[in-house]
Structure 1
Amino acid sequence: MSIPPGTPPPIRTTRVLDPEQIAMQAGRQMPFLRLPVRAAVFSDRQLRLRQLAASHAMREYLLFIADLAQAQHQVLQDYPDVALPESAALEAASQALKPPMPAFGWPRDPVWRNELRRLLGIFRARVVEGAARDTLDRVMAADDAWLDQQADQLSRRIMFGLDLAAAPLIAAGLQAYWTQLVLQVAQRHGENIFGRTDPGNQCPCCGSAPTASISRIGADEAGFRYLHCALCSTEWHYVRIKCTHCESTKGIHFESLAPEPGVELPATGAREGAVKAECCDSCGHYLKQVVMEKDPEVEPVADDLASVTLDLLVSDAGHQRSGHNLMLLFGDPEIPDDGGGG
C-alpha cells in the first residue's frame, strides 16, 4: 500500500526522559576535536552520496553533488598553501573562546578563487549539457568581485541576493579552501591550537553552524555526539540531548520517519533509525543527527541531503532548522545572526 497523494508519511517521536544523566556521561575522556582527513573527507562524502542515490527520488541531484565532492577531493590533494593567522592571533582567539578564522571576517586568500575555478574545471567534464552546464560556465566566467560577494552572502547565511543555482558550486570552493586552511594551521601549530568556543554550537575553527550532528562508534568515541561543520568539516564534541541552538537540555525529543506495515515511505537510503531530528520545545529549533550505531556508513552532509523529507515534516510540525547544508539551500531570505551563528 502506498501513501495517498498529499498525505505526509508518519513520523516517530521519541521523548528522552533523563537528559541530565546523559549529559553527565559526556564527562568521560574523549577527543574534543576531530579534524577532517585530507584523503577521506570529500572522498567518503561522494561514496556515501552514490550509495544513497541508488533508490532515491533525488537520485540525479545526489549524484550531481557526488561528482562535485569528487572534484573537491581531487583539488584538496594538492591545494596550494594559503595565508595563515599569526600565532599570537590564534592564541588570543583560543583565550577569548572565539574561532580564529571566522567564516565571515577572516580575509580569504585570493587563492580560493583560483582553486574554485580549477575545481569547477574538473567538475565540468562530468556535467551534461543543460541548465547545470550553463550555470557552471557562468560561475567559471564570473569576475572576482562577484565571486567574493556571493561568498560573503554564503558565509553570513544571507539568502537575499544569493544566486541559489550557483550557490552549491561556490560553496564547494569555500569548503575546499577552509578545509585546507584548517589542516594547514593544524599541521603548523597542532590541532590543540583550536579551543572551545562560546557559544559551544559554533565551529572551533571557523565559527560556522553545523550541518548535522553525528553519534559515533569506536573505542574512544562510542556514544558521543559531535557537531559537523558545514564549511570546514571539522567535528567537535557537543553534549548529547542538548539543543544546538539555545543550548537548553529541557524539552528535547527526537522525530524520525516511522515506517508502518504495508506503508511505503520515501527512500532515504539510510537504514532505519540512522537519521533523526533532535527537536527543542524550548526554542522551536531542530538539528538532524546521524547515528553510526544504526548505520556505520552515515556521513553528515550526504545523509542530511538524502533526508529532506524529514526536514519538511519537522518544519510542518512547527520547528525551525538551526544548522544548514551548503549543498542545498532553501527558505526565505534571512537576516544574518550576530556572529554568524546557527
Structure 2
Amino acid sequence: MVQRLLAPGEIESLDHNAIPRLLLPQARSLFPARAARLRQLAKNEIQGIPVGETLSGYLLLMAALVDAQTAAIRSLPEQTFALPDDADIALSLEHNMPPLPVSGARPPSWRSVFAALLDHLEPVAENQPQIAAVLAELRGLESAQLEGCADAVLSELTDGVNPLHAPFVAAALQVVWTMRASQLDAQRVQPLVTNTLCPVCGAHPVASVIRIGGQSQGYRYLQCSCCASEWHMVRVKCSCCEHTSKIAYQSLTPSDETTTAPEVVNKANDPSKVARAETCDDCHTYRKIFNQEHDYNVEPLADDLASLALDLLVGEAGYSRASGNPLLWFNAE
C-alpha cells in the first residue's frame, strides 16, 4: 500500500488533534485518590512538598472531608447528580459557554449533598470538640445564610464568608459539579474565549499538572477547582494572563538547573520539580504546577493545599496568587 504524504498544515492539524484537549473527571475514583494523597502529605512522605506539624493536622481533617465526599456519592441516588436538560447544554455549547456554569442558579440537590457530608463527618467530630462545634454551626445556618455562602464560594469571594464554613460548603459543591461533569461528552465541550477558565463550568483552575501516559504524555493541564475537569494549556505560558515572555519557576527544593523559562528536558524523580510555582512578571501572579513525571501520584488540589510553604516563598517575592484553593479560605483580613 502506498501512503499519501501529508502537507505541513495537515501534520500540524493531526498533532493538535492528538492532544486530549479536555480530560473529564472520574468522580468515583478521584476523591478516594485525593484523600489518600492528603494523608501521605500529612505524614510528610512526599519528597518536594515538605509539610510541618501544624499543617499536618489540617490536611488530615481535609482528608476526612474528602472521605465524606466519597461516602456522599455512594449513598445518594443518581438523580442527585442529574445533568441539565440536553437543550440547555446544547444552547450553552452553541454560544461557547460552559455547559455547567457555576454562575446563576444551581441545582437544589446540592443541599442534600451538604447534609450528607455533615452526617458522614459526625464520627470524626466525636473526639474533636472544635470540629463538632463547626458542624453544629453549619447545621444551624439558615437557608439564606447557606445559599449566600455557596454564592460566595462559587464566586471566590472572601468578604463576609466564614473561613471555617467555606471548605465544607465548597466540598458539597465540588461533589455536585464533579459528578455532573463526569457524565458529559468531552468531544462536545467547546473551549471558552479565554483558556484560563474551565470550559465545563467556568471556574478558575486550582493548579496545573504535567501528565504522563498515553496521548497526554508531557502535556500540561489546568485542573478546575470546582468540577476537577482538566483542560490543555501549553507549557511555559501564564495561566492567568496567557503571556509567555516573563515566566519563571520557584521551588522549595534547590535544583541544579535554571528555574527560568524555557524549560529543559528533566530527569525523572527530581524532588525540586514535583511542586513549583509558575510566576509571571507581566501580571505578577503565580499558580502552582505539579509534575507527574517526577511523582506519579501528584494530585493538584491536595498538593496545592499541602505546599503552603511555597505560597509564602513566592508571596514574599512579590507575587499574588492567581486563584484560591476551595478547601482553604482566609477572611478579608
Q: Normalising by structure 1, what TM-score?
A: 0.82
Corresponding residue number in structure 2 for 1:202: 197
Report the Cα offset of residue 183 of structure 1: 2.5
Distance 1:327 1:126, change over 3 A: same
Residues 227-306 of structure 1: pairs in structure 2 closer than 5 A: 227-259=222-254, 271-306=271-306
Name whichever of 174-183 and 66-75 sits farther off. 174-183
Greater relative contact order (CA < 8 Å, ≥ 6 in sequence): 1
Stretches of structure 1 lacking an aligned partner (at least 5 in a row)? 1-23, 261-269, 334-342
* Distance in 2, Cα, partners of 1:180 & 1:38: 6
Whole-Å separation in 2 of the counterparts to 1:164 and 1:72: 19
**Which residue does 2:180 correspond to in 1?**
181
- Deviation at residue 234 of structure 1 after TM alignment: 0.8
| Match status 1:225 vs 2:220 | yes
- Secondary structure, aligned partner of 1:227: strand
Q: CA deviation at 1:110?
A: 1.4
- For structure 2, the 5+ residue unaligned runs are 1-12, 45-50, 256-269
- The worse-fitting range, judged by mean Cα deviation, of 270-279 and 146-155 is 270-279
Amino acid at match of 1:64: L
Q: Where is the helix percentage greater, Structure 1 or Structure 2?
A: 2
Q: CA deviation at 1:258?
A: 3.0
Describe how 1:146-161 pairs up with structure 2 within 5 A: 146-161=145-160
1:115 maps to 113
Contact 1:225 1:238 in 2 (8 A): yes
In structure 1, what is the equivalent of residue 259 of structure 2? none
* 1:26 Cα offset (Å): 7.8
> What amino acid is the match of 1:76?
I
Distance, in Å, in 2 between the alignment partners of 1:298 and 1:83 is 30
* Alpha-carbon shift at residue 28 of structure 1 (Å): 6.4
Q: Equivalents in 2 of 1:69, 1:293: separation in Å?
A: 25
Q: CA deviation at 1:330?
A: 2.6
Per-residue CA shift, 1:4-36, capped at 9, x if unaligned?
xxxxxxxxxxxxxxxxxxxx9983612111111
Cα shift at 1:177: 1.1
Corresponding position of 1:72: 69
Kindly provide the CA deviation profile for residues 310-331 of structure 1, in whole angstroms up to 9, marking residues without a partner as x. 1111111111111221011236
**Which residue of the other structure, out of 38, 41, 45, is the alignment partner of 2:27?**
38
Query: CA contact under 8 A between 1:90 and 1:193: conserved in structure 2?
Result: no
CA distance in 1, matches of 2:311, 2:15: 28
Give distance in 2, aligned partners of 1:37 and 1:133: 31
CA displacement 1:187-244 (0-9 Å, x = unmatched): xxx2323211111111111100011000011021111001010011111111111111
Match of 2:18 in 1: 29
* Aligned residues: CA RMSD: 2.2
How much identity, in percent, do the aligned residues show?
A: 36
CA distance 1:249–1:177, shift in 2 (3 Å): same
In 2, Cα distance between equivalents of 1:194 and 1:73 = 26
Query: TM-score, normalised to structure 2's length?
Result: 0.84
Contact 1:35 1:234 in 2 (8 A): yes
**CA distance in structure 2 between the aligned counterparts of 1:282 and 1:75, rounded to whole angstroms:** 42
Name the stretch that deviates more: 207-216 or 317-326.
Answer: 317-326
1:47 aligns with 2:36: yes
